[in-house]
Amino acid sequence: MIDRAMDRIIERVIAWGEARPDIRAAFIVGSRARADHPADEWSDLDVVIVADDPQPYLASAEWLSAIGDARLTFLEPTAVGGLTERRALFDGGLDVDFTFIPTGYIQHMLQHALPVEVARVFQHGVRILFDKDAAIAGLVHAPPSEQPRLKLPTSAEYGELVNDFLYHAIWVAKKLRRGEVFVAKTSCDIHMKWLLLRLIEWHAQAINGPVYQTWHAGRFLEQWADPRIIADLGSTYAQYDAADVRRALYASLRVFHWIALEAADHLQYEYPHDAHAYVETWLNAQLPKETQQHNIRA
């Protein structure tokens, strides 16, 4: 039923776009266009629309009525390309993302070369809905502006990530001692976890090879990450409670440490043991593991 409902949405997008002279093309990317990890009943629909002027479609949502009964809609930056997409939730819980690209941008890429991140999106699959100027088919097969470099980090990039993580371990502890539980939990569960995710990607690629598919933003993490990491991750997240944030902070440091050591061994990089020891000593002095919640002062 979900697939049929999405097909009706797609048919309406085609009819709407083909009737408007300022809309030059539309195509689908993401799970509903790729063969590897294809869409399931929970997948959204990612539609890219080429328009002479995207601004009216971003400034107003009235045009969505031609597509379906939109219950919710808002604007959001795209993960790739620095564009803006209009996200819409249609009746039946159908999630559709409309990314608008100026016609001139398509012409620029045809005359020059694709940004690497755009080329990677196209490599996963594209389904063209209509293409009035016959431009998209050529764009899909256009060469990227540069060859994607190997995903393995340099020694400097590895060191930056480790130092960033260790720095924020102390930062979170300071926020806890001040009584700022929300700020501490947010940093521990969000910022430090994004750093941990990047390390997990490097760990997988260091062990399996630099072209090993890790996917974007933790997608399908449970399928490509080391099973030991998946088993450990649950301990690194905190409840909204000062004592539990402290526990999750120590768990995050422990998990990060062993993953970073294994990655360093495979990459033949040096882990900053002295910095790690300093951070652990500081934490044990300022935020000892056995400290009770009432001793974490406001």
Neighbours of 100 (CB within 10 A): 22
Q: Is residue 76 part of a domain?
A: yes
Q: Is residue 150 part of a domain?
A: no
How much is the pTM? 0.74
Instruction: Note whether 159 and 255 are same-domain residues.
Output: yes
Least confident of 43-47, 50-54, 250-254: 43-47
Instruction: Note whether 215 and 285 are same-domain residues.
Output: yes
The phi, psi pair for 133, rounded to 5°, reads -105, 10
Instruction: Note whether 16 and 128 are same-domain residues.
Output: yes
Instruction: Note whether 216 and 240 are same-domain residues.
Output: yes
Which of 75, 109, 140 is the last residue before a domain boundary? 140
Per-residue pLDDT band for 11 (boundaries 50, 70, 90) equals very high
Give the CA diameter of the chain.
69
Instruction: Note whether 103 and 228 are same-domain residues.
Output: no
Instruction: Note whether 89 and 182 are same-domain residues.
Output: no
Instruction: Note whether 132 and 175 are same-domain residues.
Output: no
Distance between CA 56 and CA 3 in Å, rounded?
Answer: 29
For residue 172, which of 188, 191, 196, 194 has the smallest C-alpha distance?
188
Q: Is residue 148 part of a domain?
A: no
Q: Is residue 254 part of a domain?
A: yes
Question: What's the CATH number where 101 sits?
Answer: 3.30.460.10
Distance between CA 29 and CA 31 in Å, rounded?
Answer: 7
At position 87, the amino acid (one-letter code) is R
Distance between CA 150 and CA 147 in Å, rounded?
Answer: 9
Which of 106, 140, 174 is the last residue before a domain boundary? 140
Any bridge partners for residue 84, and if so which?
77
Per-residue pLDDT band for 1 (boundaries 50, 70, 90) equals low
Question: What's the CATH number where 239 sits?
Answer: 1.20.120.330
Per-residue pLDDT band for 296 (boundaries 50, 70, 90) equals very low
Q: Is residue 125 part of a domain?
A: yes
CA 125 to chain centre: 18
Give the percent of the chain with pLDDT over 90.
65
Q: Is residue 145 part of a domain?
A: no
Structure tokens belonging to residue 162? 């480790």
Q: Is residue 284 part of a domain?
A: yes
Instruction: Note whether 215 and 279 are same-domain residues.
Output: yes
Structure tokens belonging to residue 102? 């100026």
pLDDT at position 147, please?
Answer: 56
pLDDT at position 150, please?
Answer: 61
- Averaged pLDDT of the chain: 88
Mean pLDDT within 249-262: 98
Q: What is the DSSP letter of 54?
A: -
Distance between CA 27 and CA 13 in Å, rounded?
Answer: 10
Q: Which single residue is written with the structure tokens 């949405």?
A: 9
Per-position DSSP letters for 92-133, written without gaps between them: TTEEEEEEEEEHHHHHHHHHS-B-HHHHHHHHH--EEEEETT
Instruction: Note whether 196 and 136 are same-domain residues.
Output: no
Instruction: Note whether 131 and 169 are same-domain residues.
Output: no
pLDDT at position 25, please?
Answer: 94
| Domains contained in the chain, number | 2
Query: What 3-state DSSP class applies to 215?
Result: coil
Residue numbers of the domain that contains 18: 2-140
Q: Is residue 147 part of a domain?
A: no
Mean pLDDT within 114-120: 70
CA-to-CA separations, 88 to 82, 83, 109, 188, in angstroms, rounded: 19, 16, 28, 31
Which of 109, 140, 171 is the last residue before a domain boundary? 140
Judged against a pLDDT cut of 80, whether residue 276 lies above it is answered with yes
pLDDT digits (tens, 9 = 90+) for 122-136: 777 889 999 998 888
Instruction: Note whether 168 and 113 are same-domain residues.
Output: no
Instruction: Note whether 124 and 161 are same-domain residues.
Output: no
